[in-house]
Amino acid sequence: MPAASVFVTGGTGYIGVPLIRELVQREHSVRALVRPGSEHKLPSGCEAVIGNALDPATYAEQVRPSTVFVQLVGVDHPSPSKRAQFQAIDRTAGLGAVAAAKIAGIGHFIYLSSGPSCAHDEELHRGA
């Protein structure tokens, strides 16, 4: 299988770090969006892209040449009591990621949802 070029948001999180390690180990090219000062949290072999997951204008033009986009930004330990946080973080980052992926012409978009918090979010499910 040929190596993929993967762009990851949430790459310094509890799912992102092991995912990036595995992708790099399998010789895929991996780039991850990070906040300024968080570059050191990325596994070795991953290129840092500085930006803000809640503002796609800060990174949309840097998604290329990736062909796969993995959206992992979200609230830790989601629950109905965190609905407002979901709206402010998961939903905003998710919709921004969809927009950035469209600009970049991404062929494969993977969105890891925070479960029932977004089950009825029509805008996220139809790809905004």
Confidence band of 117 (pLDDT split at 50, 70, 90): very low
- Residue with more model confidence, 51 or 117: 51
Whether the predicted pLDDT of 128 surpasses 70: no
| pLDDT, average across residues 114-119 | 53
Q: What is the pLDDT of residues 22-33, one digit of tens each?
A: 999 999 999 999
Look up the CATH architecture of domain 5-125.
Answer: 3-Layer(aba) Sandwich (3.40)
Q: What is the pLDDT of residues 75-85, one digit of tens each?
A: 887 778 888 88
pLDDT of residue 114: 61
Q: Rounded to an integer, what distance in angstroms lies between the CA atom of residue 6 and that of residue 61?
A: 15
| pLDDT, average across residues 92-111 | 96
Domain ranges, ordered by start, for the chain: 5-125
| pLDDT, average across residues 63-80 | 90
